[in-house]
Amino acid sequence: MDQMDKRVVLITGAGIGIGRAAALAFGEMGDHVVVTDVLEDEGNSVVAEIEAAGGSAEFQPLNVRSTEAANALVEGLNTRFGGIDVIVANAGIALRVPMSEMTDEKWHETIDVDLYGMMRVIRPALPAMKEGASIICLSSIMGSHYGWDEHVHYSTAKSGAIGLIRALAVEYAAKGIRVNGVAPGYIRTAQLLNPGHSLGPDAADIASPYIPMKRLGEPAEIANVIKFLASSDASYLTGQVVTVDGGLTPGRY
């Protein structure tokens, strides 16, 4: 399979966590993975891991807050490859800020990364995307089902992502471009284990009693769903947000 026969998969926030797991999963499938992140060392490490396993990847630094940078990156990929086949809009932040202490700047930062960041990468890619292309946006159970105290800006952004998914899916369905999302529950990531912004190092002990499967999810378990949504096996599936949470939302008690 030469370069032109591979799908081109663009992943934002691919240096760590779910983005990294998705990059490794697509790399293993033989796709050409464009790893993007503000974390350059981590991004290059993911590329090295994919290549060491015989896969194809490249690292492109990207801050999704920059329209100029996103446009330039996507334009370059469109020129080189004739279009992007899969976009995984994953880059996100979750900063703990009580609403009484919320500033405009903190609010805008989270919405800018977590919601506008998706649009900035998707928008310039759409004109060159061909029938069969797929877009997957990462939401959260904190956007689809629950509120999250001291993270109102995050829940707002992740709820907004669901509106983006549904509306864009309808707009592009006739062109054969599918748009779906994933709403992860408690997944073992650096974000979840950060005591300043989420549950902290005791996350498994705190959350597991409430999860019917009695454990945290792993990033690879989200990546497997993303991989399915991007595949032809999901050819009639668009405008949907798949909740992957170990039974938490139907079984909360």
DSSP 5: G
Active-site residue (options: 146, 154, 186, 253): 154
CA 181 to chain centre: 8
CB 75 within 8 A of CB 124: yes
Assess whether 154 carries a catalytic annotation: yes
Cα distances (angstroms) measured from residue 32 to each of 26, 37, 58, 121, 132: 8, 16, 8, 17, 16
CA distance linking residue 116 with residue 76, whole number of Å:
21
Query: CB-based burial of residue 127 (10 Å sphere; 0-12 exposed, 13-18 middle, 19+ buried)?
Result: exposed
Task: Say whether 9 sits in a helix, a strand or coil.
Answer: strand
- Write out the catalytic residue numbers: 154
